Amino acid sequence: MKIRILKDADAVANEAARVIATFARKVVVERGRFVMAVSGGKTPWKMLRILEKEDIPWKKFHLFQVDERVAPPGHADRNLTELRECFFSNAVMSKDHMYAMPVEADDLESGAKQYAGLMRKISGSPPVLDLIHLGLGNDGHTASLIPGDPILQEEDADVGITGIYQGRKRMTLTYPIINRARNILWIVTGAQKAPMLKRMLEADTSIPAGRVSQDNAYLLADDAAFSDMMPKKIREKRRRDSWDSY
């Protein structure tokens, strides 16, 4: 895994937008389209609002969701609500290229299969996404791969349904498709994430994030998230334009 440590969450959001834009331009030249899946979270929303202003071939940009809460349309719990605000406020991307998880379906399992089929249509069979953005929870979860949930054992389906977590069922990408991605971009900020970040980087498989492949993975984290791993003076020295390998 390649790592960059930045001063704070704002710096992480800015750098993440730059990295995604760079990937997108490169991939569109190479393969004619860029396919990404995005997670929710405060720093990622900042990242997406900055990304909206980047020079990207938006007509070739396709956006999937990493996970979504089962909640009514427009509800504050829905990641889609913020995603639409980020990308459609200035109409930078075609609505036809944002693929919402069908969490309003009467049959969620069928909805998950439908979403997996859509990814196959856009990204091949089995689908290989160009970039998957992930965050890290205080309990070690990523996407909606939740500690103790049967979803962690899914080996065949690319999209699955979780049990109730923090009051909501979730639809989520699973390990198979996440670990097939050409690139994974982790965004981790805040001192509360430090203990789990340390375990994730050690590939501790007792937490869900520790089971994600670190091949072709990139981590953008702020000083606070690295507070359990190195003193402040060392973190400051490691801030640089290049990526350090872990």
Q: Side-chain half-sphere of 134: how many Cα atoms within 13 Å?
A: 33
Domains and CATH numbers, the chain: 2-245 (3.40.50.1360)
How confident is the model at residue 79, as a pLDDT?
A: 83
pLDDT of residue 233: 59
pLDDT value of position 76 = 81
Per-residue pLDDT at 218: 96
Per-residue pLDDT tens over the stretch 60-85? 999 999 999 999 888 888 888 777 77
pLDDT for residue 87: 65
Buried b (16+ CB within 10 A) or exposed e, 102-123: bbeeeebeebbbebbebbeeeb
How does pLDDT run across 147-193, given as a tens digit for each residue? 999 999 999 999 999 999 999 999 999 999 999 999 999 999 999 99
Please report the pLDDT score of residue 159 as a whole number: 98
pLDDT of residue 110: 97
Residue 18 CB-density burial (10 A; 0-12 exposed, 13-18 middle, 19+ buried): middle
Q: Give the residues of the chain that fall short of pLDDT 70.
A: 86-92, 230-243, 245-246
Distance CA 233, CA 17 (A): 27
pLDDT recorded at residue 188: 96
pTM of the model: 0.92
CA angle 67–73–77, rounded 5-degree value: 50
